[in-house]
């Protein structure tokens, strides 16, 4: 998941990238950004892609920095949000950005950006993310939940067993990946997934206080094609953690 990967993905964004903005039916992310917003504060969207969050950030903050590794994404976000007056775009790789991002923000939003299975570059990007948060500022971090990926695997097995018992073909394809380091495949792409405790530990070690931990819940249609009618709650989810820099 280097710059080339994201430049290529940007060209086929709609078919390749899961739309968190539209699928967060309970608006957990929206509500948790609004809670810490102020027209006197600054915000930063790290990994902004096409800029889905920029209109709401622009409306609730004095100034917004929109950051992405991909030039295509920065150009698309600029075009899509050209009417917004208070956005500054920064084209940079967070894993190499310690000097390129020269400012901090009161609220930093980082939604499904720290995904690379490469621990070295993910850790470097994480360091940039936490450094971007001003003292007493907030980080709104959203990441794929490892618990949810494993739970989906349990559901697949159950689904297969039910099909078998009904005399149907049991042919669900198990998820690929390594749960021990959290690298699970999403549509064939190895993607870092996180445990709730792992997130808490990381952020506390980095001098943050955990303020909120919420599930961003999605429907089963986001996980499986044609999910069966018996498949209800609990639903699959991403983790949202709001953490305050001490
Ligand atoms: C899955 S998309 C999520 C987009 C957006 N945050 C959202 O919620 O819709 C991940 C985004 O993070 C960006 N990204 C990934 N790694 C990055 C890095 N090291 N530095 C800057 N941006 C990065 C990608 O280019 C892409 O736009």
Q: What is the pLDDT of residue 16?
A: 82
| Domains of the chain with CATH codes | 3-146+188-245 (3.40.50.150)
Q: Once rounded to an integer, what is the mean pLDDT over residues 121-142?
A: 97
Q: Whose CA is nearest to atom 17 of ligand 1?
A: 69
User: Could you tell me the distance, in angstroms and rounded to a whole number, from the CA of residue 157 to the centre of ligand 1?
Assistant: 32
Three-state DSSP class for 36?
coil
- Give the E-state strand segments of 165-206 in sequence order: 177-178, 183-186, 189-192
Q: CA–CA distance from 106 to each of 42, 61, 182, 212 (Å)?
A: 5, 10, 30, 17
pLDDT: which is higher, 61 or 165: 61
How far is it between the farthest Cα atoms of the chain?
Answer: 63
| Whether the predicted pLDDT of 98 surpasses 70 | no
Q: Which of 3-17, 77-91, 205-219 has the lowest mean pLDDT?
A: 3-17
* Cβ within 8 Å of residue 162, ≥6 positions away: 228, 230
User: Could you tell me the distance, in angstroms and rounded to a whole number, from the CA of residue 173 to the centre of ligand 1?
Assistant: 28
- The span from the CA of 202 to the CA of 184, in Å, is 20
Q: What is the pLDDT of residue 124?
A: 94
Q: What is the pLDDT of residue 2?
A: 85
Reported as type and span, the H/E element at residue 38 is strand 38-46
Which of 1, 6, 94 most suits a substitution to test ligand 1, by most atoms within 8 Å of the C-beta? Answer: 6
What is the DSSP code (8-state) at residue 206? T
Give the pLDDT band (50/70/90) at residue 1. confident
pLDDT: which is higher, 171 or 238: 238
Q: Whose CA is nearest to atom 11 of ligand 1?
A: 47
- The span from the CA of 68 to the CA of 72, in Å, is 9
Q: What is the pLDDT of residue 106?
A: 98
Q: What is the pLDDT of residue 17?
A: 84
Q: Once rounded to an integer, what is the mean pLDDT over residues 53-59?
A: 97
Tell me which residues have their CB closer than 6 angstroms to ligand 1: 6, 17, 20-21, 47, 49, 52, 67-70, 73, 93-95, 111-113, 125
Q: Once rounded to an integer, what is the mean pLDDT over residues 187-197?
A: 95
Q: Which of 29-33, 128-132, 171-175 has the lowest mean pLDDT?
A: 171-175
| Whether the predicted pLDDT of 167 surpasses 70 | yes
Whether the CB-CB separation of 210 and 203 falls below 8 Å is answered with: yes
User: Could you tell me the distance, in angstroms and rounded to a whole number, from the CA of residue 103 to the centre of ligand 1?
Assistant: 19
- The span from the CA of 192 to the CA of 84, in Å, is 33
Q: What is the average pLDDT value for the chain, to the nearest integer?
A: 94
The two tokens of residue 217 are 């819940």
Give the pLDDT band (50/70/90) at residue 166. confident
- The span from the CA of 44 to the CA of 21, in Å, is 16
């Amino acid at each position: 998941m280097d710059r080339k990967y994201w430049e290529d993905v940007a060209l086929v964004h709609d078919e390749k990238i899961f739309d968190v903005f539209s699928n967060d039916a309970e608006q957990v992310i929206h509500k948790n950004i609004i809670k810490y917003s102020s027209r006197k504060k600054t915000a930063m969207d790290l990994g902004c892609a096409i800029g889905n969050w920029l209109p709401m950030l622009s409306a609730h903050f004095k100034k917004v920095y929109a950051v992405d590794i991909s030039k295509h994404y920065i150009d698309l976000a600029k075009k899509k949000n050209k009417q917004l007056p208070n956005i500054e775009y920064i084209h940079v790789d967070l894993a190499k950005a310690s000097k390129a991002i020269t400012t901090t923000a009161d609220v930093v939003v980082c939604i499904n950006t720290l995904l690379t299975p490469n621990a070295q570059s993910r850790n470097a990007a994480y360091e940039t993310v936490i450094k971007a948060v001003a003292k007493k500022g907030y980080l709104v971090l959203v990441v794929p939940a490892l618990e949810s990926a494993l739970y989906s695997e349990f559901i697949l097995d159950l689904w297969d067993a039910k099909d078998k018992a009904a005399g149907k073909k049991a042919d669900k394809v198990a998820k690929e990946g390594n749960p021990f380091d959290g690298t699970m495949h999403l549509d064939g792409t190895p993607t870092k997934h996180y445990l709730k405790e792992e997130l808490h530990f990381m952020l506390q070690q980095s001098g943050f206080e955990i303020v909120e931990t919420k599930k961003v819940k999605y429907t089963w249609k986001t996980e499986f094609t044609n999910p069966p009618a018996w498949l209800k709650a609990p639903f699959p989810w991403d983790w949202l953690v709001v953490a305050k820099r001490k």
